């Protein structure tokens, strides 16, 4: 199920929230706080295990987020632990929680105000809380704690942790409404998945002692014990995974490898645009030592260098796979942009993005998007008058509106962003064009244009359309797309433009200096030239005047020939690339007969990837929207942490997807 239904709740005489869907309380009337600490924290022996941990991060998974009480008190406990033991190896907490019916914000606030001792964490959660548009994972940051909220039915969402999360969860809070009230959740599939994802010696704790639950957990492989229950409850259960299970990969050809490295090892990024920025940010936040090699004299001189760019998701009338990715990226990107706007000075405006039904084809497409019945916070279908009123200028047609869309100054954002990251410890080396990579024992040797060499353990390629210039990445089916964006003077009419306007091109509202707009962009595939084109400049003007045909478009004047050219990197399926760089030659050998191996149900080896070599690329024209989530995802992968996207979406981002699709159908590459 794609859409997520909100919870319906009321508060009883004890001011305890009660679910209308399940006719059950969210936590104990007697003392929900004490119950949570007793059942889940003590039941999983969290404090003692944190003290003894040699790991960098600890992962808790919870079945039923509810009011967030377990998250609030566990985050608070972990902060106490970090304050009391600052030298402990354990630095970060990941809290993964599943929720089928998220509580609306106002009722969430009411439920959380019962516990003023957590007011700071609760307010931070409330500030980030948003209506989940599609089922799946939404990531939120709370200093040393990361919250992954998986909205939707747990029977559908839990398996989407995927092959990657096998044996990575330290402890389970088996919560949710009572088995008698919510039998669909408490089932054999849940227990089996819990066991699969649990680390050896991983634990679980639950408030119930129902025999069906105990037997189900034991059947899955857990050693289960009864302990005294909380309050009036006679007993509750704890459990542990005592054995190490052999990983079973459902999709071995899409295999993700975390980095193998010393904790203090240096990570190098080759690039200098928006993808590099968010990857560096994610790595620095994890305590990494990061060096960036940028071939230009300063960052953001290529595709990330425009004065104004649009921030909004790629919606489609026929490709749900792409839509789901971009909705998640858009949600996370909003968080990051709002947070970074407090750290970095950059021009931006959350003004919304208008999509024009300027011809029959585009009108039909927008009508189909409207039929998908998205929440109004994501997309609104508007008639001619409504769209004109929001845009601020008369339009001869209706269309759609993305109210949380924005524009920002990419060049300013990236350059000032890197200045901020340098304060966090980033080493930035400009005018360094890396021309070759070579694996040597336990590190990578980088060679630059001057034939100088640098040695690093981990390498991330984020160099735009040149990502396939290396021997290891040459098989990638990426291609360059030239784009010229014009800069035009404003006018009395154009000053009225309130939103980004998209047609067969785009026009931004006036910049903060109230002098100019950006209009674009040309789209010339398989072209990496960067010279000014008078023809493309004139085409940018002609497109808006031919598509919109309103009198005010005569004010659009590109004759000053102010423009800049960037070269984007794209893939045919319009999805980015992220993760391990695949070893193409070895995969061709391993998977040349994969069609028959699958048909005969014979063993298939995990995908061969280049050790400690990663990439982030092919962001196309949606880099502002996708880069924040992709950078965070790559940082998580390198450090072996939970990933903030469902497995089925990840499979459409991996580097070997194009040739594996052919091989899986019995074709050749």
pLDDT digits (tens, 9 = 90+) for 608-625: 999 999 999 999 999 999
Q: Count of CB atoms within 10 A of residue 512's CB?
A: 10
Q: What is the mean pLDDT of residues 317-337?
A: 92
- Nearest in space to 44 (alpha carbons), one of 203, 207, 201: 203
pTM for the full model? 0.95
Token pair 């071995």: residue: 252
Confidence check: pLDDT of 149 > 90: yes
Residue 199 clears pLDDT 80, i.e. is over it: yes
* 368-382: pLDDT as tens digits: 999 999 999 999 999
Residue 460 vs residues 104, 200, 316, 516, 631: alpha-carbon distances, Å: 40, 31, 30, 36, 11
- What's the pLDDT at 4? 86
pLDDT tens for residues 565-592?
Answer: 999 999 999 999 999 999 999 999 999 9
Mean predicted confidence (pLDDT) in 331-358: 96
pLDDT for 540 equals: 96
The answer to whether residue 179 scores a pLDDT higher than 80 is no
For residue 263, is pLDDT > 90?
no
Beta bridge partners of 366: none
CA geometry: angle at 218 spanning 212 and 220, to 5°? Answer: 105
Cα separation, 431 vs 331, in Å, equals 35
8 Å CB contact between 646 and 96:
no
Three-state DSSP class for residue 572: coil
How far is Cα 391 from Cα 22, in angstroms, rounded to an integer? Answer: 44
- pLDDT band at 30, cuts 50/70/90? low
Place of tokens 């931070």: 124
pLDDT, one tens digit per residue, over 480-490 is 999 999 999 99
Q: pLDDT class for 230, splitting at 50, 70, 90?
A: confident
**pLDDT tens-digit readout, 417-463:** 999 999 999 999 999 999 999 999 889 999 999 999 999 999 999 99
| 232: confidence class by pLDDT, cuts 50, 70, 90 | confident
| Residue 543 CB neighbours (<10 A) | 21
- Report the distance separating Cα 356 and Cα 368, nearest Å: 14
**pLDDT-derived band of residue 531, with 50, 70 and 90 as boundaries?**
very high
Average pLDDT over every residue of 40-64: 96
Q: Does the structure show a pLDDT above 90 at 385?
A: yes
pLDDT band at 27 (very low <50, low <70, confident <90, very high): low
From 105, 140, 68, select the one nearest 335 (Cα to Cα). 140
Segment 524-543 shows an average pLDDT of: 95
In the chain, helix, strand, coil percent, each to 5? Answer: 35, 25, 40
- Residue 238 is predicted with a pLDDT of 96
- What is the layout of strands, in order, in the sheet containing 577-582? 427-429, 289-293, 266-271, 458-462, 609-617, 577-582
The label of the residue with tokens 């996708």 reads 626
Element (H, E) at 569: strand 563-570
For residue 316, the Cα-to-chain-centroid distance in whole angstroms is 19
pLDDT digits (tens, 9 = 90+) for 632-667: 999 999 999 999 999 999 999 999 999 999 999 998
Q: Is 612 left (phi over 0), alpha (psi -120 to 50) or beta?
A: left
Q: From edge to edge, which strands make up the β-sheet containing 434-440? A: 434-440, 443-448, 453-456
> In the chain, what percentage of residues exceed pLDDT 90?
83
Q: What is the mean pLDDT of the chain?
A: 93
Let me know if 344 is exposed, middle or buried by CB neighbors in 10 A (0-12, 13-18, 19+): buried
Query: How many Cα neighbours within 13 Å face the side chain of 440?
Result: 11
**DSSP summary character for residue 248:** -
Residue 327 pLDDT greater than 70, yes or no:
yes
Beta strands in 300-442 (DSSP E): 309-311, 348-349, 353-356, 380-382, 399-402, 406-408, 427-429, 434-440
Return d(Cα 519, Cα 530) in angstroms, integer. Answer: 17
37 pLDDT tier (thresholds 50, 70, 90): very high
Q: Is pLDDT at 1 greater than 60 in this prediction?
A: no
User: What domains does the chain contain, in order, with CATH numbers?
Assistant: 9-240 (3.40.50.150), 266-302+412-477+573-586+611-658 (3.50.50.60), 353-403+479-570 (3.30.9.10)
Contact (CB, 8 A) for 156 and 184: no
* Stretch (H or E) spanning 624: helix 623-638
In angstroms, rounded to a whole number, what is the distance separating the alpha carbons of residues 53 and 49?
Answer: 6
């Amino acid at each position: 199920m794609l859409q997520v239904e909100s919870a319906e709740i009321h508060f009883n005489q004890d001011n305890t929230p009660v679910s209308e869907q399940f006719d059950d309380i969210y936590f104990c009337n007697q003392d929900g706080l004490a119950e949570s600490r007793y059942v889940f924290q003590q039941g999983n022996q969290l404090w003692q295990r944190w003290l003894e941990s040699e790991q960098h991060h600890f992962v808790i998974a919870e079945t039923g987020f509810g009011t967030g009480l377990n998250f609030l008190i566990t985050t608070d406990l972990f902060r106490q632990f970090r304050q009391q033991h600052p030298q402990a190896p354990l630095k970060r907490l990941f809290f993964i929680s599943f929720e089928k019916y998220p509580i609306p914000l106002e009722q969430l606030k009411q439920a959380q105000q019962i516990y003023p001792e957590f007011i700071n964490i609760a307010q931070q959660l409330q500030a980030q809380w948003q209506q989940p548009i599609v089922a799946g994972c939404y990531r939120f940051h709370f200093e040393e704690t990361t919250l992954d909220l998986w909205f939707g039915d747990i029977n559908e969402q839990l398996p989407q942790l995927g092959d990657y999360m096998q044996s990575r969860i330290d402890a389970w809070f088996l919560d949710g409404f009572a088995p008698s009230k919510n039998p669909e959740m408490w089932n054999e599939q849940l227990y089996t998945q819990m066991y699969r994802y649990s680390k050896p010696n991983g634990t679980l704790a639950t408030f119930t002692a129902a025999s069906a639950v105990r037997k189900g957990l034991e059947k899955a492989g857990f050693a289960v014990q009864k302990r005294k229950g909380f309050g009036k409850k006679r007993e509750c259960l704890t459990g542990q995974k005592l054995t190490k299970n052999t990983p079973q990969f459902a999709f071995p050809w899409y295999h993700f490898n975390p980095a193998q490295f010393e904790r203090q090892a240096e990570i190098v990024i080759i690039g200098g645009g928006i993808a590099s920025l968010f990857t560096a940010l994610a790595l620095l936040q994890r305590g990494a030592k990061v060096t960036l090699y940028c071939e230009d004299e300063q960052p953001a001189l290529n595709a990330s260098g425009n004065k104004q760019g649009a921030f909004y998701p790629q919606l489609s009338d026929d490709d749900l796979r792409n839509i789901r990715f971009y909705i998640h990226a858009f949600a996370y990107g909003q968080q990051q942009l709002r947070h970074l706007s407090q750290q970095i000075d950059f021009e931006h405006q959350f003004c919304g993005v208008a999509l024009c039904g300027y011809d029959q084809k585009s009108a039909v497409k927008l009508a189909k998007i409207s039929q998908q019945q998205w929440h109004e916070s994501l997309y609104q279908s508007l008639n001619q008058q409504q769209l004109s009123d929001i845009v601020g200028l008369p339009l001869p047609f209706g269309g759609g509106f993305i109210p949380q869309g924005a524009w920002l100054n990419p060049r300013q954002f990236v350059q000032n962003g890197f200045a901020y990251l340098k304060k966090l410890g980033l080493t930035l080396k400009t005018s360094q064009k890396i021309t070759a990579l070579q694996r040597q024992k336990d590190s990578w040797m980088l060679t630059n244009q001057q034939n100088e060499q640098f040695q690093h353990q981990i390498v991330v390629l984020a160099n735009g359309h040149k990502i396939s210039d290396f021997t290891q990445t040459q098989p990638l089916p990426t291609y360059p797309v030239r784009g010229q964006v014009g800069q035009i003077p404003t006018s009395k009419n154009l000053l009225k433009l309130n939103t980004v306007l998209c047609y067969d091109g785009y026009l931004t509202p006036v910049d903060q200096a109230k002098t100019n707009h950006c209009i674009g962009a040309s789209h010339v595939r398989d072209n990496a030239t960067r010279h000014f084109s008078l023809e493309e400049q004139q085409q940018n003007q002609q497109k808006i005047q031919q598509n919109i045909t309103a009198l005010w478009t005569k004010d659009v004047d590109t004759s000053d020939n102010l423009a800049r050219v960037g070269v984007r990197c794209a893939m045919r399926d319009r999805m980015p690339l992220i993760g391990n760089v695949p070893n193409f030659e070895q995969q061709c050998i391993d998977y040349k007969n994969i069609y028959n191996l699958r048909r005969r149900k014979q063993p298939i080896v995990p995908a061969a990837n280049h050790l400690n070599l990663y990439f982030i690329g092919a962001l196309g024209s949606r880099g502002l929207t996708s880069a924040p989530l992709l950078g965070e995802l790559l940082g998580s992968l390198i450090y072996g942490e939970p990933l903030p996207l469902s497995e089925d979406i990840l499979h459409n981002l991996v580097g070997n997807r194009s040739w594996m699709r052919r091989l899986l159908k019995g074709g050749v590459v």
